[in-house]
Copies of this chain bind each other. A is one copy, B any other.
Amino acid sequence: MTAAKHDVFQAIADPTRREVLRLLSNEEMPISKITSYFSISRTAIVKHLHILAEADLVQAKKQGREKLYMLQPEPLNEVKEWLSYYEQFWNNKLSVLKHFVEEGETQGLSLVESKEKKRTT
Chain B hits for A82, CB < 8 A: 12, 18
- Scoring A14, A71, A83 by chain B CB atoms within 10 A of each residue's CB, the highest score goes to A83
Stoichiometry (number of copies): 2
Is A86 in the interface zone, CB < 8 Å from B? yes
Chain B hits for A74, CB < 8 A: 90
Tell me the nearest residue of chain B to A71, going by C-beta: B89
Is A76 in the interface zone, CB < 8 Å from B? yes
Q: How near does chain B come to A88, taking the closest CB pair, in angstroms?
A: 9
Per the bound structure, the CA–CA distance linking A82 and B14 in Å amounts to 13
Tell me the nearest residue of chain B to A91, going by C-beta: B77
Q: Evaluate contact between A83 and B79: CB separation under 8 angstroms.
A: yes
Is A80 in the interface zone, CB < 8 Å from B? yes
Per the bound structure, the CA–CA distance linking A14 and B12 in Å amounts to 12
